[in-house]
Amino acid sequence: MRHARLERRALVAGILARRGDAAVVAGLGSAAWDCHAAGDSPLNFYFWGAMGGAAMLGLGVALVRSDRRVLVVTGDAEMLMGMGSLAAIAAQAPSNLALLVLDNEAFGETGRQAGLTGKNTDIAAIARGAGIETAFTVGDEGGEGSSGTDVEALATTLAATLFEEEGPVLCVAKVALSSEPDSYPPRDGVLLRTRFRAALAGD
Name the 3-class secondary structure at 136: strand
Can you give the pLDDT at residue 131?
Answer: 98
Q: pLDDT class for 116, splitting at 50, 70, 90?
A: low
The pTM score is 0.90
Q: Is the pLDDT of residue 110 over 90?
A: no
Can you give the pLDDT at residue 1?
Answer: 42
Q: Which fold has domain 8-201?
A: Rossmann fold (3.40.50)
Q: Walk across the sheet containing 134-138 and list its strands.
A: 44-46, 23-26, 70-75, 97-103, 169-174, 134-138
Domain positions in the chain are 8-201
